[in-house]
């Protein structure tokens, strides 16, 4: 199953262009699938209510076997794996719905599911050969083996290209001998099937499918964590582990690209989990606020609590819109969804963190007490901005990968200017694009009247992002790679614009399907999200280049050198 990377909605946003035909109308799940998933989720809800005790799992630090068994029975462990390999053959949309439901039950269960399906099984599905798929996927979809993804090492976290685990071929070329230590591996303790990334003799990175019962593979440590305590996070030692050459995942030497592409699925799943958590917390907090009485009134009547509940609701709405738009584009082989998956991961992990914090605040002192669910939720939510690539790394990726093609294009134009007569085609194309970009603003036609203000805001900011991106590339050239402050601002703008796009499309499609009166609430959510996103975009644009970046750097350098925040006190 090959994925051809072509159009990217986010790359287009950086170029001042809106991929209207892809985003409008908002995608829809197949009716038949919606029914199937609905029944499965009902069954899970019933099971989890009766049989799962998240507080106990948190205390004991493990997911009971019957929970994993039920996930396998319901087909969750292979929900988006084709039936030919023992899966349920449903879509990525369904995969995200399951992830949401599991996250509502417990974040450890969702983490387990994400590593198993998105990182291991999907890795084999998209990068393995037919034999590997036939051999390993049925074991994973049935839950006979639990999947894990082993990239991180003690000295290689955000920079996985520096991994040291080695893979040396035997003389006859039939095997590779793996040596090294992998760190923080989710599901590592199950000794099921690992995707291990190692450095081969050509000094390139290669992925291997490594069965957990391989001689020399040991689980040397189970980490004790702040949250998601029931999920297994382990250190894996590979001591002369002999792996057959036919277990190479994809092409030898292409492991880094494969490892990163696999994470596209993981990040989208993670974002879906955050969305499920966010919605559940919004329900929980609003329920609490309507029952808790202070000053003779339910606290939900007070404006400062209303503001929090509204914030939780419109963020959840935006998160969900972004996740399901991305789930839908992830299945179109003509589209590249890596930036959108990264955007979803960043936005939803931070959204959940804000929402968890607000839910705890609404619960007041009770929120801080272990007997209530909030403190666990806050502990559990914290990991999402760290694993599957920290949000700092996501932001660098979103902007640098997002603007790369524009940079390459401008470089070609720059070269063409040096020899204009032999490059008339390039220059003519550039001149036309420039005129179009500067004069003609992208328009989204046919949006419901009630959302015309939001449509205009989106069009204006996409236009401005296109112009500002070009200006920045021209100004910094290759040096943009070192300017993380600017990268962060550009990516934040793209993140919010993608959120606006998804939310606008969804709300407009809802209005057209159900009528304006029926979706008053959703219209309000859309408007509130636009107000919120606009504030953030404006802020980033205003100090994109005129800022105090140098002051920040000099403060930080001083602090790092002196190991103190400051020296004097008067
Ligand atoms: C519970 C848990 C489960 C995990 N599961 C898995 C798994 O299943 N498989 C797996 O392979 N890994 C897994 N990981 C590892 C995880 O992906 C890494 O911890 C993460 O990528 C960060 O790496 P690091 O911890 O080494 O931090 P570092 O890379 O040391 O980063 C430290 C800080 O510096 C920042 N930073 C680093 N470089 C830059 C830069 N260039 N610019 C700006 N800031 C920068 C980071 O954002 C971070 O804030 C897991 C980790 C945890 C905690």
The model's pLDDT over 222-270, given as tens digits with 9 standing for 90+, comes to 999 999 999 999 999 999 999 999 999 999 999 999 999 999 999 999 9
Rounded CA-CA distance 102/353 in Å is 18
Which ligand 1 atom lies nearest to the CA of residue 225? Answer: 1
Interval between CA 346 and ligand 1 midpoint (Å): 14
Measure the CA–CA gap between 421 and 434, rounded to whole angstroms: 19
Strands 166-169, 193-200: parallel, antiparallel or unpaired by DSSP?
A: parallel
Contact 496, 535 (CB under 8 A): no
| Contact predicate 245/125, CB 8 Å | no
Check 261, 388, 442, 464 and give the catalytic one.
Answer: 388
Best substitution site from 390, 392, 394 to test ligand 1's pocket, by max atoms within 8 Å of Cβ? Answer: 390
Q: How many Å apart are CA 469 and CA 156, to the nearest integer?
A: 31
Instruction: Indicate the top mutation candidate among 107, 108, 152, 183 to test ligand 1's pocket, ranked by most ligand atoms within 8 A of CB.
Output: 152
Percentage of the residues of the chain whose pLDDT score is greater than 90: 92
pLDDT at 432: 67
Q: What is the pLDDT of residue 4?
A: 45
Atom number, ligand 1, closest to the C-alpha of residue 197: 11
Query: Is residue 456 classed exposed, middle or buried when 0-12, 13-18 and 19+ CB atoms within 10 A define those classes?
Result: middle
Q: Report the nearest-CA residue for atom 4 of ligand 1.
A: 184
Q: Report, as an integer, the average pLDDT of 73-98.
A: 98
CA of 48 to the centre of ligand 1 (A): 31
pLDDT average, residue stretch 272-298: 98
- pLDDT value of residue 2: 46
According to CATH, what is the number of the domain 22-146?
Answer: 1.10.540.10
- CB neighbour burial string for 30-66, b if at least 16 within 10 angstroms, e if fewer: eeebeeebeebbeebeebbeeebebeebbeeebbeee
Which of 272, 259, 267, 273 has the alpha carbon at shortest distance from 388?
267
Per DSSP, which regions of 84-160 are E strands? 147-150
Label residue 105 left, alpha or beta by phi (over 0 means left) and psi (-120 to 50 means alpha): alpha
pLDDT band at 17 (very low <50, low <70, confident <90, very high): very high
Dist. CA 26 → ligand 1 center (Å): 34
Average pLDDT over the chain, rounded to an integer = 95
Residue 1 has pLDDT above 60, yes or no: no
Q: Phi/psi of residue 183, each to 5°? A: -120, 150
At 123, list the tokens.
Answer: 């890795």
Protein residue with least CA distance to atom 32, ligand 1: 158
How far apart are the C-alpha atoms of 61 and 429, rounded to whole Å? 60
Alpha carbon nearest to ligand 1 atom 25, residue:
157
Give the span between the Cα atoms of 410 and 390, in whole angstroms: 30
Phi, psi dihedrals of residue 101, rounded to the nearest 5°:
-65, -40
Coil/strand/helix, residue 348: helix
6 three-class SS: coil
- To test the ligand 1 pocket, which listed residue (110, 157, 229) has its Cβ within 8 A of the most ligand atoms? 157
DSSP string, 477-541: GGGGGG-HHHHHHHHHHHHHHHHHHHHHHHHHHHHHHH-TGGGHHHHHHHHHHHHHHHHHHHHHH
Instruction: Output the residue whose Cα is nearest ligand 1's atom 7.
Output: 185
Q: Estimate the share of the chain in helix, then strand, then coil, as percent rounded to the nearest 5.
A: 65, 10, 25
From ligand 1's centre to the CA of 543, what distance in Å? 28
**Closest residue CA from atom 43 of ligand 1:** 392
DSSP letter at 312?
H
Q: Which residue has a Cα nearest atom 17 of ligand 1?
A: 387
What's the CA-to-centroid distance between 461 and ligand 1, angstroms? 32
How far apart are the C-alpha atoms of 152 and 264, rounded to whole Å? Answer: 16
Beta strand 217-222 with 248-249 is unpaired
Measure the CA–CA gap between 56 and 62, rounded to whole angstroms: 9
Two structure tokens written together for 278? 């966010």
Block residue for tokens 């277990």: 247
For the CA of 182, the closest atom of ligand 1 is 11
Give, as one character, the DSSP assignment of residue 145. S
What average pLDDT score do residues 35-53 get? 98
Query: In terms of Cα–Cα distance, which of 151, 173, 174, 177 is closest to 164?
Result: 151
Residues 130-168: pLDDT tens digits? Answer: 999 999 999 999 999 999 999 999 999 999 999 999 999
Could you say which of 3.50.50.60, 2.40.110.10, 2.130.10.10, 1.10.260.40 is the CATH number of the domain covering 149-252? 2.40.110.10
In whole angstroms, what separates CA 55 from the centre of its chain? 26
Q: What band does 172 get if pLDDT is binned at 50, 70 and 90?
A: very high
In this structure, which residue's CA is closest to atom 26 in ligand 1? 157
Q: State the closest ligand 1 atom to the C-alpha of 119, by its place in the atom list counted from 1.
A: 8
Give nearest CA residue, ligand 1 atom 29.
158
pLDDT, tens digit (0-9, with 9 covering 90-100), for 190-223: 999 999 999 999 999 999 999 999 999 999 999 9
> Which residue from 158, 265, 488 has its CB within 8 A of the most atoms of ligand 1, so it is best to mutate?
158
CA 385 – ligand 1 centroid, Å: 9
CA-154 nearest atom, ligand 1: 26
Asked whether the beta carbons of 247 and 132 are under 8 A apart, the reply is: yes
Q: Does 25 sit behind a cis peptide bond, omega within 30 degrees of 0 on the bond before it? A: yes
C-alpha of residue 397 to centroid of ligand 1, in Å: 14
Name residues contacting ligand 1 (CB within 6 A).
115, 149-152, 157-158, 184-186, 225, 233, 383, 386-390, 392-393, 484
- Average pLDDT score over residue span 373-378: 97
Which of 260, 387, 389, 483 has most ligand 1 atoms within 8 Å of CB, for mutation? Answer: 387
SS3 letters for 211-228?
ECCCCCEEEEEECCCCCC
Contacts of 536 (CB under 8 A, 6+ apart): 492, 496
- The atom of ligand 1 lying closest to the CA of 150 is 11
Q: Ligand 1 mean position to 511 CA, how many Å?
A: 42
CA 325 centroid distance within chain: 13
Query: Is-same-fold flag (22-146; 257-392)?
Result: no
Please identify which residue in the block is written with the tokens 């003609």.
Answer: 440
Contact 391, 376 (CB under 8 A): no
pLDDT at site 42: 98
Q: How far apart are CA 434 and CA 187, in angstroms?
A: 51
Going from the C-alpha of 319 to that of each of 27, 103, 134, 270, 419, the distances in angstroms are: 15, 14, 35, 12, 48
Tens of pLDDT, residues 400-447: 999 998 888 887 777 777 776 667 677 677 776 776 676 678 899 999
For the CA of 389, the nearest atom of ligand 1: 21
The pLDDT of residue 3: 43
Tens of pLDDT, residues 503-551: 999 999 999 999 999 999 999 999 999 999 999 999 999 999 889 999 9
Distance 263 CA to ligand 1 centre (A): 13
Is 2 part of the annotated catalytic residue set?
no
CATH no. of 393-546: 1.20.140.10
82 CA to centre of ligand 1 in angstroms: 32
Domain boundaries, the chain: 22-146, 149-252, 257-392, 393-546
CATH of domain 257-392: 1.20.140.10
450-509: per-residue pLDDT in tens? 999 999 999 999 999 999 999 999 999 999 999 999 999 999 999 999 999 999 999 999
Q: Which two tokens stand for residue 298?
A: 């339910």
Tell which atom from ligand 1 comes closest to the C-alpha of 151: 11
Rounded to whole angstroms, how far apart are CA atoms 257 and 261?
A: 6
């Amino acid at each position: 199953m090959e994925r051809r990377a072509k159009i990217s909605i986010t790359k287009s946003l950086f170029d001042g262009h809106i991929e209207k035909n892809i985003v409008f109308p908002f995608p829809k799940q197949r009716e038949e699938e919606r029914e199937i998933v609905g029944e499965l989720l009902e069954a899970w809800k019933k099971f989890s209510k009766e049989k799962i005790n998240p507080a106990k799992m948190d205390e004991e630090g493990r997911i009971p076997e019957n929970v994993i068994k039920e996930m396998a029975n319901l087909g969750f462990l292979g929900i988006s794996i084709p039936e030919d390999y023992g899966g349920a053959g449903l879509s990525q949309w369904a995969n995200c719905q399951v992830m949401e439901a599991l996250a509502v039950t417990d974040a450890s269960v969702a983490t387990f599911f994400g590593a198993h399906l998105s990182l291991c099984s999907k890795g084999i599905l998209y990068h393995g050969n037919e034999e590997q798929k036939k051999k390993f996927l049925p074991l994973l979809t049935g839950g006979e083996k639990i999947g894990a993804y082993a990239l991180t090492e003690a000295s290689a976290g955000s920079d996985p290209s520096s991994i040291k685990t080695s893979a040396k071929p035997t003389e006859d070329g039939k095997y590779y001998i793996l040596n090294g230590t992998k760190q923080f591996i989710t599901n590592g303790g199950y000794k099921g099937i690992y995707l291990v990334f190692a450095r081969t003799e050509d000094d390139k990175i290669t992925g291997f499918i490594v069965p957990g019962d391989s001689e020399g593979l040991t689980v040397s440590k189970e980490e004790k964590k702040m949250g998601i305590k029931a999920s297994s996070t382990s250190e894996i030692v590979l001591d002369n582990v002999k792996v057959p050459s036919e277990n190479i995942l994809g092409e030898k030497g292409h492991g880094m690209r494969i490892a990163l592409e696999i994470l596209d699925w993981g990040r989208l799943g993670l974002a879906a989990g955050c969305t499920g958590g966010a919605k559940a917390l919004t329900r929980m907090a609003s329920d609490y606020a309507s029952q808790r009485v202070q000053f003779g009134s339910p606290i939900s009547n007070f404006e400062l609590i209303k503001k929090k509940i509204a914030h939780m609701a419109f963020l959840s709405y935006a998160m969900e819109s972004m996740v399901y738009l991305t789930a839908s584009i992830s299945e179109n082989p003509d589209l590249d969804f890596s930036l959108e998956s990264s955007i979803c991961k960043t936005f939803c992990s931070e959204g959940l963190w804000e929402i968890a914090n607000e839910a705890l605040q609404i619960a007041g002192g009770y929120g801080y007490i272990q007997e209530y669910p909030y403190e666990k939720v806050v502990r559990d939510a914290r990991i999402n901005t760290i694993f599957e690539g920290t949000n700092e790394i996501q932001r660098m990726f979103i902007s640098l990968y997002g603007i790369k093609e524009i940079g390459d294009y401008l470089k070609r134009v720059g070269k063409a200017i040096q020899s204009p007569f032999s490059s008339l085609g390039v220059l003519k194309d550039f001149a036309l694009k420039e005129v179009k970009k500067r004069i003609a603003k992208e328009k989204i036609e046919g949006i419901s009247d009630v959302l015309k203000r939001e449509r205009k805001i989106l069009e204006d900011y996409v236009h401005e992002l296109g112009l500002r991106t070009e200006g920045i590339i021209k100004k910094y050239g290759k040096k943009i790679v070192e300017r993380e402050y600017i990268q962060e601002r550009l990516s934040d703008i793209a993140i919010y614009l993608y959120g606006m796009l998804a939310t606008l499309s969804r709300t407009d499609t809802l209005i057209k399907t159900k009528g304006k009166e029926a979706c008053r609430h959703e219209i309000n959510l859309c408007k509130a999200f636009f107000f919120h996103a606009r504030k953030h975009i404006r802020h980033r644009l205003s100090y994109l280049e005129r800022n105090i970046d140098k002051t920040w750097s000099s403060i930080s350098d001083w602090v790092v050198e002196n190991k103190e925040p400051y020296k004097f006190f008067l």
